[in-house]
């Protein structure tokens, strides 16, 4: 997760949401798609749904592609649109998008909830606990807490490898964690993307080089790579969130069947991990294929949500 724009950028994105919604990529297929903004929750077509996904946030991709397949199997037409997190919340609040499946509440996405919560609906929580952290490879033996970073800055080149600048994870790392542990003078928090962070992590692990990254759980990287979470002894990241489905205000009344299914939606760490790894194995552009295969292997679990 998720993981708030630096405020000037956030305001710009909120103000330009209509334009932003024409520049999308379908997250579950890798193909581009056009968007007729304003046709979401107000369309009157109860069998057509629009779901936003934030590219590179793996649990979001997994949950979104999973539900795209489930809903299409039930006869729904589903458009998945890749947006940044600010545009996602604004789009759902303005009913240009129906659903977002990876809202981290109550903490990580609190900025958006405070601004737009009156126009949103919390449909249900599907994963808990979801936490933000700093992570290093397990072979970095002498660094086990965030506080330990203070005396090992040169070992990491004075760099914490981050993700998208607009994420709540970056905001909390920059505004809460680094000041709490006195790291601002010794480390630079680099802004990049989730995919670039993961690439740097895997490259340095292959070379057994020390690296510290911003990361979150759930994430497939913990099952695939030798990683350890640095203990946050001061609680600077706050209490863990829940990954929740949020919708435009009135969604449950307009779509009671889908809302009921989503309220039942729960994934364990192992279930989500297996779905994320399957998506990794299939590769970019084949996420939907992976979701379909995962459903076939976990039909009983899926059926339990569709009662």
Give the pLDDT confidence of 136-155 residue by residue, as tens digits: 999 999 999 999 999 999 99
Which range has the worst mean pLDDT, 32-41, 120-129, 238-247? 32-41
pLDDT of 11 higher than 70: no
Give the pLDDT confidence of 173-206 residue by residue, as tens digits: 999 999 999 999 999 999 999 999 999 999 999 9
What is the mean predicted confidence (pLDDT) over 99-107? Answer: 95
Q: Which helix (H) or strand (E) holds 299?
A: helix 299-305
User: Quick check: 57 and 215 in contact, CB under 8 A?
Assistant: no
| Among the listed residues 194, 54, 63, 170, the one whose alpha carbon sits nearest the alpha carbon of residue 111 | 170
User: Quick check: 37 and 96 in contact, CB under 8 A?
Assistant: yes
C-alpha 228/C-alpha 298 separation (Å) is 29
Query: Hey, CA dihedral for 202, 130, 282, 271, is it positive or negative?
Result: positive
Q: 27 or 61: whose pLDDT is higher?
A: 61
Give the pLDDT confidence of 202-260 residue by residue, as tens digits: 999 999 999 999 999 888 898 889 999 999 999 999 999 999 999 999 999 999 999 99
C-alpha 306/C-alpha 285 separation (Å) is 27
| Confidence band of 29 (pLDDT split at 50, 70, 90) | low
Give the pLDDT confidence of 63-82 residue by residue, as tens digits: 999 999 999 999 999 999 99
pLDDT of 288 higher than 70: yes
Mean pLDDT of the chain: 87
| Among the listed residues 215, 200, 227, the one whose alpha carbon sits nearest the alpha carbon of residue 140 | 227
C-alpha 292/C-alpha 296 separation (Å) is 6
For 223-251, give one letter per residue: b (16+ CB within 10 A) or e: eeeebbbbebeeebbbebbbbbbbbbbeb
Q: 257 or 42: whose pLDDT is higher?
A: 257
């Amino acid at each position: 997760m998720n993981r708030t724009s630096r405020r000037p950028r956030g305001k710009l994105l909120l103000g330009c949401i209509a334009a932003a919604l024409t520049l999308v990529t379908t997250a579950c297929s890798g193909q581009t798609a056009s968007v007729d903004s304003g046709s979401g929750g107000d369309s009157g077509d109860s069998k057509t749904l629009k779901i936003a996904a934030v590219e590179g946030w793996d649990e979001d991709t997994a949950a979104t592609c999973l539900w795209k397949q489930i809903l299409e199997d039930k006869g729904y037409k589903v458009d998945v649109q890749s947006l940044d997190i600010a545009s996602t919340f604004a789009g759902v609040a303005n009913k240009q998008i129906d659903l977002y499946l990876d809202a981290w509440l109550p903490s990580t996405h609190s900025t958006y909830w405070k601004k737009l919560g009156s126009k949103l609906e919390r449909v249900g929580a599907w994963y808990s606990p979801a936490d933000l952290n700093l992570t290093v490879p397990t072979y970095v033996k002498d660094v086990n807490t965030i506080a330990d970073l203070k005396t090992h800055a040169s070992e990491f080149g004075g760099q914490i490898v981050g993700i998208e600048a607009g994420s709540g994870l970056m905001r909390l790392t920059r505004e809460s964690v680094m000041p709490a542990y006195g790291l601002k003078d010794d480390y630079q928090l680099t802004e990049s993307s989730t995919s670039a962070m993961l690439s740097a992590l895997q490259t340095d692990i292959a070379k057994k080089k020390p690296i510290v990254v911003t990361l979150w759980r759930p994430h497939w990287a913990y099952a695939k790579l030798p990683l350890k979470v640095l203990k946050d002894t001061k609680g600077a990241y706050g209490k863990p969130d829940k990954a929740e489905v949020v919708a435009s205000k009135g969604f449950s009344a307009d779509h009671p069947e889908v809302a009921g299914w989503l309220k039942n939606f729960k994934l364990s760490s192992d279930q989500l991990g297996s779905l994320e790894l399957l998506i990794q194995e299939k590769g970019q552009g084949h996420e939907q294929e992976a979701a379909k295969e995962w459903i076939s292997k976990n039909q009983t679990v899926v059926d339990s949500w569709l009662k």
